Structure 1
Amino acid sequence: MSIKTNYTVTGMTCGHCEASVKEEVSEVPGVTAVEVDRANNAMTVVSDESIDQAKVIDAVEEAGYEARPAGA
């Protein structure tokens, strides 16, 4: 069963920004897919098991952007 977790990501302005975020978050252990939508400042992370949200947020910050769980 896949788990989808939504995040708000700020600071992305172009396709390269989306690609950077996707690349970094894809490296988080347990992540199976990442969808990034800069127009809506949104990111969906898909995993087979529960993953540490702090690791996902750290990966986004490593790419140079800010993230938080959606709705937070």
Structure 2
Amino acid sequence: MIKTEKTLDMAKTIKVRVEGMTCNHCKMNVERNLSQIEGIGEVVADPDHNEVVITGDHVDLEKIKSTVESIGYSYKGE
């Protein structure tokens, strides 16, 4: 499936690549900050694979990108 919109509705789950997470503290930092974005219900970060799985009713990729970068990590997209 090709996603062309920057906003996904209706309880979607997406996986994004985030580089720079090296430890459990990084994992918790990413999860805590992304879970504060309106519309996001669950965030699970995996520093070993540079992946973050995000589930929510309204997932705004631009907000995810800006949040990830504002806390010092590199957002690499879906």
TM bucket normalised to smaller: 0.7 to 0.9
Q: Name the structure with the higher strand share.
A: 2
**1:61 matches 2:61:** no
Q: Secondary structure at the match of 1:2?
A: strand
Q: How many residue pairs align between the two structures?
A: 69
Partner of 1:3: 12
Which has the larger helix fraction? 1
What SS does the aligned partner of 1:40 have? coil
Q: Indicate the percent of aligned positions where both proteins have the same amino acid.
A: 30
Give the alignment partner of residue 51 of structure 2, picking from 24, 42, 46: 42
RMSD of aligned Cα (Å): 1.2
1:19 partner letter = M
If the length of structure 1 is used for normalisation, what is the TM-score? 0.87
Choose from 16, 21, 27 the match for 1:18.
27
TM (norm. structure 2) is: 0.81
Structure 1 segments unaligned to the other structure (5+ residues):
none
Which blocks of at least 5 consecutive residues in structure 2 are unaligned?
1-9
